[in-house]
Amino acid sequence: MRFAEKTTCINCGNEEKAGAQQEAEPEKAPVQVSVGLASVASIIEEKIALIAADIKSESEVLAQKQKAELLETYLRILEKTKSLMG
C-alpha cells in the first residue's frame, strides 16, 4: 500500500521510501519498439477497414451502434500508437 512517500507491505509491514531503488527493467531498443508499434498500427488499420465494411452492410441499428463504438476505440488506439511512433 502506498501512502505519501512510503510504500508499506500489507502482509509483512515492511516499509520502503518512494525514492528507494527497485529492480530496473532492461530497456528495449527504440528500433524494436518502433517495429512493434508499426505492426500494431497495421493490424488496427486492418480491423478498422473490416469493421467499417461490416457497418455498411449491417441493417440492425443496435449492431451498427456497437460496431461504431468499437471502431471509435480502434481509432483512439491507432492515434495513440502513431503518436508513440513519432
- Residue 49's pLDDT is 95
pLDDT tens, residue by residue, 13-63: 677 776 555 555 555 555 566 678 888 899 999 999 999 999 999 999 999
Tell me the β-bridge partners of 6: 3, 17
Angle between helices 61-85 and 30-57 (to 10 degrees): 160
Q: Is the pTM of this model over 0.75?
A: no
